[in-house]
Amino acid sequence: MPLLRRCTAALLVTACGVSTPQGPAPRSPNPDPARGALRVETVARGLAHPWALAEFPDGRWLVTERPGRLRIVARDGTLSRPIANVPEVHARGQGGLLDVALDPAFARNRRIYLSFAEPAPDGSAGTAVARAQLSDTALTYVEVIYRQDPKVFSDAHFGSRIVFARDGTLFVTQGERFAFRAQAQDLGSDLGKIVHITTDGAPAPGNPFLGRTDARPEIWSYGHRNVQAAALDPATGQLWTAEHGARGGDELNHPEAGKNYGWPVITYGRDYNGSRIGEGAVKAGMEQPVYYWDPIIAPSGMTFYTGDAFPGWKGSLLVGGLASKALVRLVLQNGAVVREERYLGEVGERIRDVAQGADGLLYVVTDEEDGKLLRLRPGG
């Protein structure tokens, strides 16, 4: 990667790594939703708080439900019975069955990966990742390959998205579990970290803290609050994420190896009681976000658009919004956000995940008790 692209745009950089704060990151203009700009079709309904979706090679969809169910949605919208042998989940608060990703060789090996809130016998819980083989009715060869350490007594901020890197390794995003925010700065803890692992769960080769006795070898980046949106830029292979702030301060980042993204030392948000968090918004040695939202959108789910169905959208970053009840389109130029647009305000439901189908259309799930899988087309 060229030297200048590795440096944070919001910092005055000398020798890339010795940096002096140079003011705030760009803030969202908080645009109004573009009502009616997309044609919305309901593919399926009756999903209980769907959290993630992944498309099969045959055009069907695999959907997680946060209470702990995994379902297949047929092309005609019919819901399967819950898939058997899903790992037990801690379905409390923000916990439950979270992300799902198909192995890049799924057509050959039928392997999937699930992230979930894993319960412990003492009532604590932690983010975990399991792999399994999938039939139309059950999971087999289920194996937990990653467990967040430590497990803690909290029902919040589990993350979690799974993203395949180009080399077949996995990025797993997590949260700092809300009441344990200081651990986001502790390299001896997985809380508030993005981890980088192999498909067997081992630390990925080349991880930044391999060989250090004071840091966990699976850590990729740290200082994160609660990352529920992540995607790989298909043009560059760069990981991008969006994470929840508190009152204000949702962030768009492209996390790089070994870097500190500041939480809870720096943030653009305030605590829920209105009090200040940390030391301000900028500090030397800590990364600035590419972009931040205040008011928040509560980001969840993300994809880069690569199709042709939406004219002019190729290369856009699409992010689901829970609090904003919107699909957020970000136009990127040279690694910076140059425009933001919001869609689906007329739907009035929390957008939990977004994916591009093989047909070039967009698909979203809504985080509701009667959640829906929606297909989006251009036009009013």
Is residue 345 over pLDDT 50?
yes
Is residue 148 over pLDDT 50?
yes
* pLDDT > 70: percent of the chain: 94
- Per-residue pLDDT band at 19 (split at 50, 70, 90): very low
Instruction: Report residue 264 as tokens.
Output: 């809870």
Other CB atoms within 10 Å distance of the CB of residue 144? 15
- Per-residue pLDDT band at 366 (split at 50, 70, 90): very high
254 belongs to the catalytic site: no
- Per-residue pLDDT band at 5 (split at 50, 70, 90): very low
Question: In whole angstroms, what separates CA 343 from the centre of its chain?
Answer: 19
* Average pLDDT of the segment spanning 193-204: 98
Is residue 179 over pLDDT 50?
yes
pLDDT (0 to 100) of residue 23: 60
Is residue 11 over pLDDT 70?
no
pLDDT (0 to 100) of residue 218: 98
299 φ, ψ to 5°? -75, 140
- Per-residue pLDDT band at 349 (split at 50, 70, 90): very high
Is residue 1 over pLDDT 60?
no
Q: Could you give the domains of the chain?
A: 36-378 (2.120.10.30)
pLDDT (0 to 100) of residue 18: 34
* Average pLDDT of the segment spanning 120-129: 98
* Average pLDDT of the segment spanning 322-331: 98
* Average pLDDT of the segment spanning 181-190: 98
pTM to 2 decimals?
A: 0.93
Q: 51-99 pLDDT, tens per residue?
A: 999 999 999 999 999 999 999 999 999 999 999 999 999 999 999 999 9
> 208-217 long-range CB contacts below 8 Å, 24 or more apart?
208/257, 208/258, 209/258, 212/187, 214/187, 214/188, 215/187, 215/188, 216/149, 216/187, 216/188, 216/189, 216/190
* Average pLDDT of the segment spanning 201-213: 97
* Average pLDDT of the segment spanning 346-372: 98
Catalytic entry in 49, 90, 157, 196: 157
- Per-residue pLDDT band at 188 (split at 50, 70, 90): very high
Angle at 227 between CA 225 and CA 233, to 5 degrees: 135
pLDDT (0 to 100) of residue 195: 98
Is residue 21 over pLDDT 70?
no
Q: 285-310 pLDDT, tens per residue?
A: 999 999 999 999 999 999 999 999 99
Write down the mean pLDDT value for the chain: 93
Q: 216-275 pLDDT, tens per residue?
A: 999 999 999 999 999 999 999 999 999 999 999 999 999 999 999 999 999 999 999 999
- Per-residue pLDDT band at 312 (split at 50, 70, 90): very high
